[in-house]
Amino acid sequence: MAENAQSSKPAQDNGTSTPGSSSSGDAPATEFKVYKPPTASTTSPPLEELPDSYFTPSPADLKAAQATLSARTRSLVDAPLRVRAQREAEEKSKRDRWPNTTIRVRFSDRTQLEKMFPSTDKIRSVYAFVRSSLRDDVRSIKFILYQSPPKRDLKVSDPDVRDLSLAQLQLAPSSILLLRFEDESLNGTNVPAPLLPSIAASAIELPNPPSADAEPRKADKSATPPTTTSSTSTEKKIPKWLKAGLRK
């Protein structure tokens, strides 16, 4: 009960004191963020409608898809042949590269709860954090965290899930998990996320997505000067006798 008492007093800023603690001690998992549901101003503008011909694959597209499928099939067939030491070395490399995993849990109203966990933590640490953030009247209701698409339930009761670390579940370095309550009345898109009032009050606006056409402009500007320099340097390297021959 002491944990629940602490959960009702998060700090009122962008990095809020965590309502639940992670199973590991020294990782920077003591802060969390809450994002409000996106509004019209924070969502991307609607994309232009594409003609039906755009979705008709060309022969080159079909050939590339077949090559990709063949490569995946070969990798699956060859997977059992890989030595255990090689697999362990790859897992260690991932752990060293991504020691922490950022998990963002999205409720049905699109409120999002974000926290960083050690990549060695199990999925039960995420469940414990989410449960400790819920209102008292909802905390006893079971829920499932899952990914989609493709849909993958991350149940603590599943031995193929509960015994694996976040990194082994392919959630590192960051992942978005969806939340579904067993009580369907809590899953409506118009039902506010049942978070503790103090946590809901600390919610901030979701950052705007980066502009899609900002990068190409920068690339074009940076690409122009090197082209001029390259042509100038090429002209300087032409021998004098060759220039004389060209004039004739």
Domains located in the chain, CATH noted: 2-39+90-200 (3.10.20.90), 218-247 (no CATH)
The amino acid sitting at 228 is T
DSSP at 81? G
Q: What percent of the chain has pLDDT above 90?
A: 45
Rounded to a whole number of angstroms, the distance between the first and last alpha carbons of the chain is 95
What confidence score (pLDDT) does residue 88 get?
74
Higher pLDDT, 156 or 209: 156
Q: Which of 16-20, 37-41, 158-162, 208-212 has the largest mean confidence? A: 158-162
Write the CA distances from 83 to 69, 160, 165, 170, integer angstroms.
24, 21, 21, 20
| pTM, rounded to two decimals | 0.60
Strand 100-106, strand 174-181: pairing: parallel
Residue 134's pLDDT band, with cuts at 50, 70 and 90, is very high
What's the gap between Cα 47 and its chain centre? 22
Reported as a single tens digit per residue, the pLDDT across 204-219 is 998 877 665 555 554 4
What confidence score (pLDDT) does residue 110 get?
96
Residue 202 tokens read as 């600390």
What confidence score (pLDDT) does residue 194 get?
97
What confidence score (pLDDT) does residue 139 get?
96
Residue 133's pLDDT band, with cuts at 50, 70 and 90, is very high
- With vertex at residue 207, the alpha carbon angle to CA 148 and CA 167, rounded to the nearest 5 degrees, is 45
Mean pLDDT of the chain: 77
- Is the model's pLDDT at 70 over the cut of 60? yes
What residues form DSSP beta bridges with 175? Answer: 103
